[in-house]
Chains A and B, each alone.
Chain A
Amino acid sequence: MSRTPAVDTTTLIVSMSPHVRGSLTVERMMGGMLLALVPTTVVGVYVFGLTALLTVALAMATAAAVEAALELLTKRELTIRDLHALLTGLLLALILPPTAPWWLTMTGAATAVILGKMVFGGLGTYPFNPPLVAWVVLKLSWPERMSSFIAPFTGERVLTPLMAFQEDPALFYAYDLWDLFLGKAAGGIGMVCGLAIVIGGLYLIIRGIIRWHIPVAFLLGVGLFAGIMRMINADLYPPVGFHLAGGGVLLGALFLAPEPVTSPVTPTGMLAFGLLAGILTMILRMWGSDPDGTFYAILVMNAATPLFNYLTPRAYGERMA
């Protein structure tokens, strides 16, 4: 019998099972999110011109550079390869108004990375969605800059549909719902075209990068609330589609609320989180000071995420007392 060619046993790896693993990694998740945001970004640039492209590029570059600088400073491993900094920058750019000056964009991106992410220890540890933390800081610091919107293509100063609705509820009649959905109304760079956002979101759900629970529950929360209000008084309250397509609801439901780090881990927790975030969005829209409550609602729910994590399923075989 021939002997086995001697195997170098010192190179054999000994570790715990399982010895094979699935293909999904953090890099692939973040890469998938970036890819899913391409349609939204392209529409934003098409509608608002090259300034929007500059804002996007500047936000992504600043986020990546600030993260790398902090990591060099604190002698930690560079994490640019996990793509999370780029994703943070891109998401921030997409919720900025198209008129955002360069310094606003850079301050925002740096705030998102420093205050939103790195002070807590980086990816996996922060309690609040980093782009939204930056958005709140900018909104409080430069309120008028953060609410100066322009009409698509023409560049003329206008109010967003939700701002107009806050001024005078009857104004919602002035908007065609399809315009809202197809990118013909004013809004943030990535918030104008619902269709592009939905395409990206469906891609994420089909590829398994985000789970369906939070987006579905979020939209359900907004839809149910808006539907009930509409039933109470159809003259005063806009149709459900106006609330779904207007403002940040779609971007929030599909990209911001399901952000893994700041959302619950259990399916029940995710459903409750999404539903309450949707309802809170509507409450803020109806009675809040900000025309679009989506981002505040998500941040508030982020704070409640540890509570939702108590909604764990009953452990198998637990003796019923």
Chain B
Amino acid sequence: MGIVLRGITLPKKYSAPLELIEITPPTHVVLPLIQHLGEPAAPTVTVGQKVKSGQLIAAAPTDRSVPLHSPLTGTVTAITTTFSSRGQDTEAVVIEGKQIKPKTKPLPAPSTLSPAELTVAFREAGLLSPGPFPAPLIREILGPEQSGSRLSLSGTRLVKRTDTLLVSALDPEPCLGVNRYLAGIVSEALAVGIAALKTISGAERVVIVTDANLPLPAALRAIAAADEEETTRIIRLNGRRYPTGLPIPLIKAALGREVPLPYGRPRDVGVALCTVSAAVSLGETLLTGAPPLTTLLTVGGAALSRSGIVEIPLGTTIEDLVDALGGFTREPSKLIIGGPLTGFAHYDPSVPLGKDAGGLFALTEEELTPVGAYRECINCGRCVAVCPVNLVPGMLSMYCAKDRFEEAAAQGLFSCIECGCCDYVCPSRRPLVHFFRHAKHQLMEAES
């Protein structure tokens, strides 16, 4: 069993229902060229060009970006600007057309492929790392030899060899359910994906983390049983506990390793981290020869009539998805891409849901706590009791509120992973994550 970290256990009402909702796919998608930390992809199509489902529309010049493929067969109608899931301005390719299964040539069996061939397919799949701040997964998985870089994304020298592939069947937050859903229903693609990731990363062992509140998925049990060298282990953690599902706490909870903060990445401690959904996407890419053209999302919130998991073409806009779900049944007060604990609020329903979305929540006024009115910190220490990275958030927030950013930085501001646990429990309703993001932004502005 893993380590229980400081954090919060959410009430049952915040657990995502793990049922698929069938929807009619939209005929209009918007594909932002950057959906992650790193650099944008370079478009390879022009306005007016006819594209086929699965065709490359933006290439990744380096491993700091991911390639994009058209999820529809139709026409590029515009190259415009939009917001990404996390609110960055980005260029985006707009495509109108129909969702058609791409024609592909059958590939050789994945087990016969060499590591280099697997890496090519992996790069082509264009997957992202888990969590609210995704990066191209390839940067997080490839060992230093294959990636040709001895530096991790954080700029620290990689001294450790990757020894463990950590596959998470937990979701970043309990309100999201895609990984748990997939772990319960997919088997072949998951096994193929995990085997491929193990080869690519050069890890000696595989650790799979699942939700202890759900029955152990048969697919995972089969993977562990099929492994004759006994290098695969399954660890069960409480999925209602938050932030166990976020990358940095997850590595601590499952393996007892601490990623050096600030700026550390899983590879700094010899861990290649991915999710079940990334493994399934890679497995399907290898089995079908087509890169992932759809993504799974958790939808919820009282403004929508249904909650559960939906499969949408990449780049479906919020309004198209809401239409397909039958529209809003109540007036939404907040539209959130991602989950209610780490997601980003949007005011524009034409924002697309990309590879980094994870969820769409339309919350009504009653579900929200009022924003803006907060009190002085009363020193109760609840934030200290829940902080997974052992900071003193209340004290930090006082520095930040008084514009004393350097002092906050000296107290560990940049180690904050912005999970929001302190915010969730604060009886004074202080917007702590807001303070911290503001302070980090101010300090980074001052530096550049």
Contacts and interface: CB of A to CB of B under 8 A. Distances in A.
Interface of A: 1-5, 7-9, 11-22, 24-26, 28-29, 82, 121-125, 211, 260-267, 270, 309, 312-319
Contacts of A29: 380, 427
A5 B395 CA distance: 45
Contacts of B426: 21
B394 interface: yes
27 contacts: A1-B24, A4-B322, A5-B328, A7-B328, A11-B331, A13-B371, A14-B346, A15-B345, A18-B342, A18-B420, A19-B336, A19-B340, A19-B343, A21-B423, A25-B429, A26-B375, A29-B380, A122-B376, A124-B428, A125-B376, A261-B378, A265-B392, A265-B394, A315-B389, A317-B258, A317-B261, A319-B260
A281 B156 CA distance: 52
Nearest to B264: A317
A211 B347 contact: no
A23 to B, nearest CB: 9
Given A4-B327, A315-B415, 13 more contacts: A3-B323, A7-B331, A9-B348, A13-B333, A18-B423, A19-B341, A21-B425, A24-B425, A262-B379, A313-B390, A315-B390, A317-B248, A317-B258
The 3 closest A-B CB pairs, nearest first, are: A124-B376, A18-B420, A265-B381
A315 B260 CA distance: 10
B328 to A, nearest CB: 6
Nearest to B262: A317
Contacts of B78: none
B418 A19 contact: no
A123 B420 contact: no
A17 B347 contact: no
A11 B347 CA distance: 8
Given A13-B368, A121-B376, A266-B392, A20 B424 contact: yes
Summarize B's interface: helix, strand, loop or mixed: loop
Contact of B424 (A21, A122, A260): A21
Contacts of A265: 379-381, 383-384, 392, 394-395
Interface of B: 8, 14, 24, 132, 248, 252, 258-261, 264, 319, 322-324, 327-328, 331-336, 338, 340-349, 361, 363, 367-369, 371, 375-385, 388-392, 394-395, 412, 415, 418, 420, 423-429, 431, 433-434, 437
Contact of A28 (B322, B343, B427): B427
Residue among A29, A315, A319 with most chain B CB within 10 A:
A315
Nearest to B24: A1
A277 B219 CA distance: 56
A266 B384 contact: yes
A13 B395 contact: no
B366 to A, nearest CB: 11
Contacts of B363: 19-20
Contacts of B345: 12-17, 19
A74 B366 CA distance: 34
Nearest to B132: A17
A265 B411 CA distance: 15
A2 B341 contact: no
Contact of B368 (A19, A24, A123, A309): A19
Contacts of B378: 26, 123-124, 260-261
B19 to A, nearest CB: 21
A263 B361 CA distance: 39
B243 to A, nearest CB: 10
Residue among A15, A122, A309 with most chain B CB within 10 A:
A15
Given A4-B319, A270-B381, A20 B368 contact: yes
